[in-house]
């Protein structure tokens, strides 16, 4: 068998392992491979057209097996080209950012049953303020931009122009500029009586009996967040709004309209900087937030704030590390190809695992990662 025939057979075996029902025409691949071999001595590139994720194509490069210091070997995985179709929009038809607001920089270990859990679905329409807000450079001054997110107990997603993205938020309520955050369990434990909620929130920052201006500022900020974008129950949201509107430094105005011409009540206060003001408009009849106006960061109009199931297309967009234990390296390489993971292999001695099989992976089974994420696979070197 000549080199061209050997290459074609190798390609056929790889495709059969990954997607056995796909017919591959290798007649055009062999000449291209011959040219590549002339240009890259010792390197073998496989162009695998895999119908994955609704017809997406992936170009995967398998570098020659090279031993690196420590006994590791690597396999590079290149993401497929960017989508060629029109960019996605929010469910309200607004343009979305290319990247999530809080991109996940490390694996996320979700709680058990995360796919079937309840999520807090928030859809907003925003207009950037005098400084362009946090959306620059994608949202020029005065432009309108949408946002759509699903906040869960330990895992969060945001819809971008290219599709759903994993967010690296952790606990959901992070108050801007402050270190205190609230998990879903902590929020569920908060009292829904306004006076009790006032004291429970203030206790985290200051003396309830003699609060300082700092403590009251924190109280105001967290009450505003609970009343707007937090996954709070209707009872907790109503109590938070009452706490906010009864603070001395908050100016309340009834019968106002938001940018969508919806009627509500406004709570205005000075926020952070001396020249920065923030206004929250709230529908007290329906117990729903309508809008947040910030003289520095612009306006966020709340179009949807509801508890809902996580859509299948959002859950399916994330890559979940499978259980690779006891698999052979050859089988793991196929998994890495199919899931678009950049796998690195290393070996350790083991008295229990057969030589050449997987002992562990990092990230471990069940972790959620993004496309092309690095994964270290530990193989048994035998006893």
- The CA–CA distances, whole Å, from 307 to 120, 122, 152 equal 5, 9, 10
> How high is the pLDDT of residue 114?
96
Cβ atoms within 10 Å of 118's Cβ, excluding its own? 13
What are 103-116's pLDDT values in tens digits? Answer: 888 899 999 999 99
What is d(CA 351, CA 374) in angstroms, rounded to the nearest whole number? 27
> How high is the pLDDT of residue 122?
95
50 touches 11 (CB < 8 A): no
What are 354-379's pLDDT values in tens digits? Answer: 999 999 999 999 999 988 899 999 99
Cβ atoms within 10 Å of 150's Cβ, excluding its own? 21
> How high is the pLDDT of residue 21?
39
> How high is the pLDDT of residue 177?
47
> How high is the pLDDT of residue 173?
56
User: pTM of this prediction?
Assistant: 0.74
What is d(CA 176, CA 232) in angstroms, rounded to the nearest whole number? 18
Tokens of 37: 């071999």
What is d(CA 150, CA 158) in angstroms, rounded to the nearest whole number? 6
Tokens of 22: 């796909």
Longest CA span, the chain:
87
Q: Give the 3-state secondary structure of residue 179.
A: coil
Element (DSSP H or E) covering residue 149: strand 144-151
44 phi and psi angles, rounded to 5 deg: -125, 120
> How high is the pLDDT of residue 132?
39
Strand order in the sheet with 358-362: 73-75, 342-348, 374-380, 358-362
> How high is the pLDDT of residue 101?
85
Under-70 pLDDT residues of the chain: 1-84, 128-143, 170-180, 273
Residue with tokens 């500029």: 177
254 phi and psi angles, rounded to 5 deg: -90, 170
65 touches 130 (CB < 8 A): no
């Amino acid at each position: 068998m000549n080199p061209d025939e050997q290459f074609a057979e190798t390609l056929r075996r790889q495709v059969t392992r990954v997607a056995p029902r796909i017919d591959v025409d290798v007649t055009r691949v062999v000449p291209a491979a011959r040219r590549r071999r002339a240009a890259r001595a010792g390197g073998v590139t496989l162009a695998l057209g895999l119908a994955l994720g609704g017809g997406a194509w992936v170009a995967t490069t398998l570098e020659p097996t090279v031993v690196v210091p420590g006994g590791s070997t690597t396999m590079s995985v290149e993401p497929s080209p960017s989508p060629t179709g029109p960019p996605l929009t929010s469910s309200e038809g607004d343009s979305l950012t290319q990247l999530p607001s809080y991109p996940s920089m490390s694996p996320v270990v979700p709680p058990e049953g995360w796919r079937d859990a309840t999520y807090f679905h928030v859809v907003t329409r925003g207009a950037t303020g005098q400084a362009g807000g946090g959306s620059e450079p994608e949202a020029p001054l005065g432009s309108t931009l949408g946002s759509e997110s699903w906040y869960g107990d330990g895992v969060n997603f945001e819809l971008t122009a290219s599709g759903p993205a994993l967010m690296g938020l952790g606990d959901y309520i992070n108050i801007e500029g402050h270190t205190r955050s609230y998990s879903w369990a902590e929020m569920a434990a908060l009292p829904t009586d306004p006076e009790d909620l006032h004291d429970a929130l203030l206790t985290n920052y200051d003396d309830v009996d003699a609060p300082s201006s700092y403590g009251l500022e924190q109280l105001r900020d967290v009450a505003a967040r609970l009343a707007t974008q937090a996954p709070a129950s209707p009872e907790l949201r109503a109590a938070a709004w009452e706490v906010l509107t009864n603070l001395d430094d908050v100016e309340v105005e009834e019968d106002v309209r938001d940018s969508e011409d919806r009627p509500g009540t406004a709570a205005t206060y000075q926020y952070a900087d001396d020249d920065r003001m923030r206004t929250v408009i709230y529908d007290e009849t329906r117990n729903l937030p309508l809008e947040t106006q910030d003289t520095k960061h612009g306006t966020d109009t709340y179009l949807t704030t509801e508890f809902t199931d996580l859509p299948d297309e959002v859950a399916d967009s994330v890559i979940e590390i499978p259980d690779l234990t006891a698999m052979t390296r050859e089988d793991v390489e196929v998994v890495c190809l199919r899931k678009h993971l950049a796998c690195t292999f290393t070996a350790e001695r083991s008295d229990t695992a057969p030589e050449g099989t997987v002992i562990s992976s990092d990230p471990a089974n069940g972790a959620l990662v993004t496309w092309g994420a690095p994964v270290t696979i530990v193989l048994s070197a035998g006893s």
